Chains A and B, each alone.
Chain A
Amino acid sequence: MNRAQVLAPGHACIMYRFHNITGNEGLLLSKQRLNRKIAWCLCMALTFSLLAACSGNSSGGSTGSTNAGGGTKQEASGGSDNASKEKEQEPLVLSLMFNFDGVEFPAEGNEVQRRIEEITNTKLKIQQLPGSAFEEKLPVLIASGELPDAIPIPRRHQKLPYVVNAIESDMFWEIGPYLEQFPNLSKINPLIYDNIAYEGKVYGIPRVRPLARRAFQYREDWAEKLKLQEPKTIDDLYAMLKAFTHDDPDGNGKQDTYGLTSKEVGYWFAPFFGAPNNWKVEDGKFIKDVETEEYLNALKFEKKLYEEKLMNRDFAVIDRPEWTGAIEQGKAGVRIDVTGSAPGLEEGVQANNPDGKINFFSILEGDHGKRVFMEGGHNGFYLIPKSSVKTEEHLLRVLKFFDDLAGEEGANLLQWGIEGVHYKLVDGKPEYIDLDKYGKEVGAYSAPLSTLPPVDIALQGDKTRLQQREIDVIAENDQHLVADPSLPLLSETFAERGAQLQTMLEDANVKFVMGGSEEEWRNTVKEWRTRGGGEIAKEYEEEYAKLGK
């Protein structure tokens, strides 16, 4: 059963880490389990034949919602405002399944859900699962063909074989051609649609988030105390880390602080040293980041931080609470996370030290100008299965659900909740009445169901210092994006062995930073190429040429 455990450890935003998913396979090879291995082979063979059967037989395995599309023909070209036409239509029965990681999901028939149904003219049937359980169950659901009307694919599963196979066997609607009918969905940045395309075709509705959101978060009060400016270059940051370590930023007379609390190495500083974002293309050839000198330079910088004890010693094994705790408890001064997590961090800091302040930045300017790595720009995407959504009309109505929810009214509901219950208007500006209540009652819907970020569309409230900062940083980042050319490309070798290969590189990075030799590291990189990295590059090259970019 381990095979389905897709429990990606650690930080949710690191594209690299997910390759551990199939890492359990090695375990299955032990002698006693050889039988099981054989059984797995048989089982996989059976699975694929079943998959083939499912896609061949579109009438089987349908859920209860088949009658929903049979209403009058949908006029989807109209905006969300022509309410009179919608009134004539029966509400669409829409089954959804998504992740929920809070304590208790709101009970059925609650006010917020009723409002969502009203805005979108639907009747929702929601199944919610804890994020980790959801990810484990997803492969089985897809293989069984028993799917709700729309299902979110987690970002890190985008290129896993089970998703790619399902797409290739035509299990899901290609929505690209319909998008222009939807005023809101068509507003989503085409870059993001490109990032989730399979062989150039768009199947998914992305849950949009910023394209570049990595951020260095630092103790602003410490910096002020030591008369340090916000770092603009790598040298500035180095000076700051040094001061945070040696110049007693917390003023207790003891040397009990350090600069950076890090969770892994090899990625953070690469853009500022000029390294590519995962891969770069030169004359149609794919070159992996680790194969460039720039990447090694970035790694050497981290080695220096480690050797001079400016960062934590346990970066390779630390887990999230400890890592965050180091900042919150005033042990470390800088961490690298994402723009959106700064307010939460500041809250944690202030619980221990009321004067504590956090600020953050994304870009350190180096010899290569301003650079920041672009991610997918989404946190997973909804696919619409053909097994449950059988007709085009039905598909258009499902798309309309997401489109309506991304409109002004929908965004207001997701972002602020219901007026008088979750927010009130003060001088025309919304203000939360009880943030906890909002989180419990609305948060369970707003995070999984948002496509365009509601915060951009909804009523604008007063922004806190950090919220405003986030907007500014993201806006600046968008000017200096460095793309990962492999994002929209598929590679068979990567699907099979990418995880092990990536782990190999990560281990080498850790070893190098903790005192390994450069030669050893270079040898690992070479080994990486011979053991499959080269094939991945070749497969990307072919795909890349096909897409004609």
Chain B
Amino acid sequence: MVKDRSFGSRLFDTINVSVLGLFGILTILPFIYVISSSFSSVPALWPKDFSLEAYIYIFSADTFTRSLLVSVYITVVGTLIQLCLTSLMAYAVSHKQLPGRQVVLLMVLFTMLFSGGMIPTYFVVKSTGLLDTLWALMIPNAISAFYLIILKNFFQAIPEELKESAKIDGSHEVGIFFRIVLPLSLPAMAAFGLFYAVGIWNQYFSAILYISDASKWPVQVILRQVVIMASGAIGDSTEVEQVVYYSNSIKMAVIVVSTVPILLVYPFLQKHFAKGVLLGSVKG
């Protein structure tokens, strides 16, 4: 520590802290607003007439609890499927000696730039019999081309020597993958797992498209419906007179309940992000 810091350095720190602090506040304020409004009779930063009514209301009907469970289920299972498929494929194409690797990569790259579009994708989902099943929310986007390529590069960066060492000890490729490569890639897996999980958790449009059975809707579909109804911008086919208007606190409570579960995942994964796992693995 340098004791006599210059005025400039202290000024820099002051500005730095206050600007970053301001940004911090700006990001956290909406959360506080939403959470406190959900307990309050009027939207406010601090609850006015504190009540749990909104939460009691949304959990009084099965709809919401059920959709929450659906969301949790597809997020957990879907993320596992996605991580599994993405890492397996990424590992395969990370091998330079794999025949046809360039062609496969080119095809993957192509899907990054061009997608089939909504209706053709719908046909694929329909003809593979996924329609109206929860698989439709997990399978079609099981591998993201972008994550695949990053993960491939990550695998390539793992020193060849480590894999050779395993080979010398008599391990086959699958063993190398599970015993050497995967443990070393935990930070990457954690990161992509999070991305995938958030992606699945937040999806609503595919649910609307592929799932007609209301009991299989994830929470985002319900959330969206509540938010739309609360703002009065109802669908056109509904008569104005017949609409149930949700109060502001119910809207906010639904937002809270549908956001918090996925927020809770962050702290558990965060510790994996900063780990320098490759340090000291290869010497010489």
Q: Which chain A residues have a beta carbon within 8 Å of chain B's beta carbons? A: 1, 3-4, 7-13, 18, 35-36, 38-40, 42-44, 46-47, 50, 97-99, 101-105, 127-137, 140, 143-144, 146, 152, 154-157, 209, 319-321, 323-324, 337-338, 340-341, 344, 379-380, 443, 447-448
- A493–B203 CA distance with the chains assembled, in angstroms: 34
User: Main secondary structure on chain A at its contact with chain B?
Assistant: helix
Assess whether B80 is interfacial by the CB under 8 Å rule: no
- A310–B214 CA distance with the chains assembled, in angstroms: 46
- A340–B238 CA distance with the chains assembled, in angstroms: 13
A154 partner, pick from B113, B213, B229, B235, beta carbons under 8 A: B235
Assess whether B21 is interfacial by the CB under 8 Å rule: no
Counting residue pairs across A and B whose Cβ atoms lie within 8 Å, the total is 157
- A136–B238 CA distance with the chains assembled, in angstroms: 14
Assess whether B168 is interfacial by the CB under 8 Å rule: no
A9/B233 contact (C-beta < 8 A), A101-B243, A127-B212, A132-B224 known: yes
- A268–B115 CA distance with the chains assembled, in angstroms: 45
B237 partner, pick from A4, A99, A320, A443, beta carbons under 8 A: A99
Contact indicator A39/B114 (Cβ below 8 Å) = yes
A133 partner, pick from B115, B116, B208, B233, beta carbons under 8 A: B208
Q: Which residues from A are CB-within-8-Å of B123?
A: 50, 144
- A344–B238 CA distance with the chains assembled, in angstroms: 16
B236 partner, pick from A18, A128, A341, beta carbons under 8 A: A18
Q: Which residues from B are CB-within-8-Å of A4?
A: 118, 205
A8/B233 contact (C-beta < 8 A), A102-B244, A133-B225, A136-B208 known: yes
Contact indicator B240/A35 (Cβ below 8 Å) = no
- A18–B115 CA distance with the chains assembled, in angstroms: 28
- A538–B232 CA distance with the chains assembled, in angstroms: 36
Contact indicator A50/B119 (Cβ below 8 Å) = yes
Q: Which residues from B are CB-within-8-Å of A128?
A: 214
The distance from the CB of B124 to the nearest CB of chain A, in whole angstroms, is 11
Contact indicator B63/A103 (Cβ below 8 Å) = yes
Quick one: closest A residue to B207, CB to CB?
A133
Q: Which residues from A are CB-within-8-Å of B240?
A: 11-13, 337-338, 340-341
Q: Which residues from B are CB-within-8-Å of A8?
A: 233, 235-236
Contact indicator B117/A379 (Cβ below 8 Å) = no
Contact indicator B228/A43 (Cβ below 8 Å) = no
The distance from the CB of B49 to the nearest CB of chain A, in whole angstroms, is 16
A103/B244 contact (C-beta < 8 A), A43-B120, A50-B119 known: yes
The distance from the CB of A408 to the nearest CB of chain B, in whole angstroms, is 23
- A321–B250 CA distance with the chains assembled, in angstroms: 14
Quick one: closest B residue to A102, CB to CB?
B244
The distance from the CB of B40 to the nearest CB of chain A, in whole angstroms, is 16
Contact indicator A101/B119 (Cβ below 8 Å) = no
Q: Which 3 residue pairs are nearest across A and B when measured between Cβ atoms?
A: A320-B232, A131-B235, A43-B117
The distance from the CB of A261 to the nearest CB of chain B, in whole angstroms, is 13
- A36–B228 CA distance with the chains assembled, in angstroms: 28
Contact indicator B126/A133 (Cβ below 8 Å) = no
